[in-house]
Amino acid sequence: MGGIGQLDPPLGAYDHVAGRPDAPLSLVEYGDFECPYCRAAAPELEEVRERLGDQLRFAFRHFPLHELHPHALAAATAAEMAALEGRFWPMHDSLYAPGPPRLTQADLRDHAVAAGVDPDKVVWPATRMVEDRVEADFNSGVRSGVRGTPTLFVNGEPYRGEVRADRVIAALTTVPSES
C-alpha cells in the first residue's frame, strides 16, 4: 500500500538546516517553490521557527513536481546555486515571498539579487552543476514515501496534520506515549 515512511536519509550534514545542529526538535519539509500549498505553509513554518527558536532544526528538501509546476525545477536549482555561496535561506525566503510565485528566469535573477547572489549563477546553464543535488533530495522523498508537497517530518516521523503553526508545534513538542 505504501504510505509515508521513515525519513530516508535522516536529517544530517547534507541538509540545508536553519537552527542549531544539536537542537532537540527537528522539522523537515519536502517542498516545491511553485506549489500553492507550500507557499501557504511558508508563513506558518516561519512562525514555528520563530516560536521554537534554538530548540528547532528546520531543514528544507526539494521535491519539485515539475509535471504540475513548470518552473519548480529551475527554482530549486537556483536555490542550490545560492546555497553554494552560503545564501540558501535568503534565496528560499525570497522565492516564498508573499504573492503569486515569480519564477521565470528573469524573476530568478531578481531573487538572486535580493538574496545577495550573482544573478548569472542562478539560471541555466550555470545551474546544471547542482541538478544532481535536487535529484538526490527528490529521490530521498520518494524513498520516504513523499507523494505531494508540502510533506513534513516531525522529529523524523511523518506529520499528517494541517500545516498550521500551533498544530506543528504541538506535534514537535508532544512526547509520543508508550503503548
The domain covering 16-173 belongs, at the CATH homologous superfamily level, to: Glutaredoxin (3.40.30.10)
pLDDT score recorded for residue 2: 45
Per-residue pLDDT of 93-126, as tens digits, reads 999 999 889 999 999 999 999 999 999 999 999 9
User: Which regions in the chain score pLDDT beneath 70?
Assistant: 1-3, 175-179
Q: Give the domain ranges of the chain.
A: 16-173
Single-letter residue type at 81: M
